[in-house]
């Protein structure tokens, strides 16, 4: 029964978002079809969560969500169906870490928003260091993805206009401290490098705190091309 509900919901989301949005779907084909992956993505609002979840199927995808989401019975049910991982923000949530690592060990995709919260206006915010911890602990590659346009969804819906939902996918990489001691400062530097990879995929008005690409570094990033 759960699989049937899951399939039906996926169909409804695809149909609904196709009607309400013009989705730039081609870049989504760049997401690997197999293997564990941390999908590093910016977080604007509520639209991208069901949209990306539905359109990346049949890849098994889950992500982290603030535990307050489960305060709503419907949202709690929905996020349980998606096997989302509740996280207590502002503290070291060991259970969320354990479940995240289990997802990656199972060869699935874990979607992580390094910003840790919605921006609302689409502009990038300062990253939290959690993504670096998960990537180093799991030794799983990171794929940067950027999207924009969803910040206009509510206004467009009221005007009965379709929303243009743009997507860009970058180059896959792993994090490598290069023998350096992994301090809190190093993890933050890694998270910032991840955010600059996302920023580089976006139009300038959306880059927010990571607008100055001249400050971007790749000290801790090892791209697949570097291994060849």
Residues of the chain with pLDDT > 70: what percent? 98
Taking only the tens place, the pLDDT of each residue in 195-214 is 999 999 999 999 999 999 99
* pLDDT tens per residue across span 71-125: 999 988 988 988 999 998 777 788 999 999 999 999 999 999 999 888 989 999 9
Q: Which residue, 93, 205, 70, is CA-closest to 149? A: 205
What is the reported pTM? 0.93
Measured between alpha carbons, how far is 52 from 72 in angstroms, rounded to an integer? 22
- Report the C-alpha gap between 18 and 36 in whole angstroms: 28
Give the Cα separation of 71 and 59 in Å (integer): 28
Task: State the pLDDT at residue 226.
Answer: 62
Strand pairing partners for 39? 111, 143
Query: Which structural domains are found in the chain, ordered by start?
Result: 2-227 (3.40.1130)
Give tens-digit pLDDT for 23-33. 999 999 999 99
Instruction: Specify the pairing of strand 173-175 against strand 37-41.
Output: unpaired
pLDDT at residue 2, rounded to an integer: 79
């Amino acid at each position: 029964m759960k699989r049937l509900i899951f399939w039906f919901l996926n169909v409804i989301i695809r149909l609904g978002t196709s009607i309400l949005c013009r989705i730039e779907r081609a870049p989504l084909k760049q997401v690997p079809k197999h293997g564990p992956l941390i999908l590093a993505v910016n977080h604007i609002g509520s639209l991208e969560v069901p949209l990306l979840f539905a359109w990346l199927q049949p890849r098994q995808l889950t992500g982290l969500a603030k535990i307050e989401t489960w305060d709503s019975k419907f949202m709690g049910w929905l996020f349980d169906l998606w096997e989302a991982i509740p996280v207590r923000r502002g503290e070291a949530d060991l259970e969320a870490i354990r479940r995240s690592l289990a997802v990656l060990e199972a060869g699935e995709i874990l979607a992580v928003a390094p910003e840790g919260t919605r921006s609302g206006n689409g502009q990038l915010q300062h990253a939290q260091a959690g993504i670096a911890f998960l990537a180093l602990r799991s030794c799983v590659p990171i794929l940067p993805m950027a999207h924009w346009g969803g910040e206009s969804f509510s206004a467009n819906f009221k005007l009965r206009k379709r929303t243009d939902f743009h997507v860009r996918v970058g180059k896959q990489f792993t994090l490598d401290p290069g023998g350096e001691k992994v301090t809190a400062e190093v993890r933050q530097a890694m998270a910032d490098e991840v955010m600059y990879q996302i920023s580089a995929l976006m139009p300038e008005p959306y880059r927010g705190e990571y607008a100055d690409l001249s400050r971007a570094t790749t000290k801790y990033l090892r791209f697949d091309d570097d291994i060849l």
